[in-house]
Structure 1
Amino acid sequence: MPAIRHDDNRFEVDAAMIADGFGIDAAQVAAFMRDGRITSRCEEGIEADAGRWRLTFYLGDRALRLTVDAGGQVLSRARFAAPRRGGAQAG
């Protein structure tokens, strides 16, 4: 599977890519998403950013942001501190 797949405004991101961004094991990603430790947000670009999406993943007080095109190609990647969001506490 490609690292990021895009179908009908739905994205699938390989767990290894998320794990790498947070420095955790890929096997932990699904469990952390199920229990709310990892949450996400998807934003579609408009005007000059049309055809791009920001996929942001949150774990505790950290965020991983991937900016991707319609084909799922990563255009930029950033990691940064972010305020804690609702949901389970990071482990």
Structure 2
Amino acid sequence: MAGIIATDEGFQVEAELLGEEFDLPPEEIAERMRDGRITSRCEKGEGADAGRWRLTFFHAGRALRLTLGADFQILSRASFDAPRQRRAH
């Protein structure tokens, strides 16, 4: 399985992992993240979930959610529909 590395700025996820989920060649991942077509959210566990992290990536109405343990290994992986919400004016 593709690797995840913790850095001072957050996490680095190998492009192959995202490309596999979103049916994209790995070389397109960075470009789509830079231009906002792929977005992400990082959440740090608290209470009973302390020591865990949840990384969620969004692209074209789909989401990939990775739950990481304290050692940054993937504990669970889920993909689901995630239609974009329209913003209120």
State whether TM-score is above 0.5.
Answer: yes
Tell me the residue number matched to 1:67. Answer: 67
**Partner SS, residue 67 of structure 1:** strand
Please report the RMSD computed on the Cα atoms of aligned residues, expressed in angstroms: 1.7
Tell me the residue number matched to 1:54. Answer: 54
Rounded to whole Å, the distance in 2 between the matches of 1:45 and 1:59 is 24
Identity of aligned residues (%): 53
Greater RCO, 1 or 2 (C-alpha within 8 Å, sep 6+): 1
Provide runs of 4+ in structure 1 moved above 6 Å: none
Q: 1:75 to 1:9 in 2, by over 3 A?
A: farther
Rounded to whole Å, the distance in 2 between the matches of 1:18 and 1:68 is 15
What is the TM-score of this pair, normalised by structure 2?
0.86
Deviation string for 1:20-77 (max 9, x for gaps)? 1111111110010011100000001111111111100000210000001232200000
Tell me the residue number matched to 1:24. Answer: 24
Unaligned runs of 5+ in 2: none
Rounded to whole Å, the distance in 1 between the matches of 2:9 and 2:35 is 24
What is the TM-score of this pair, normalised by structure 1?
0.85
Rounded to whole Å, the distance in 1 between the matches of 2:22 and 2:83 is 15
Unaligned runs of 5+ in 1: 87-91
Tell me the residue number matched to 2:45. Answer: 45
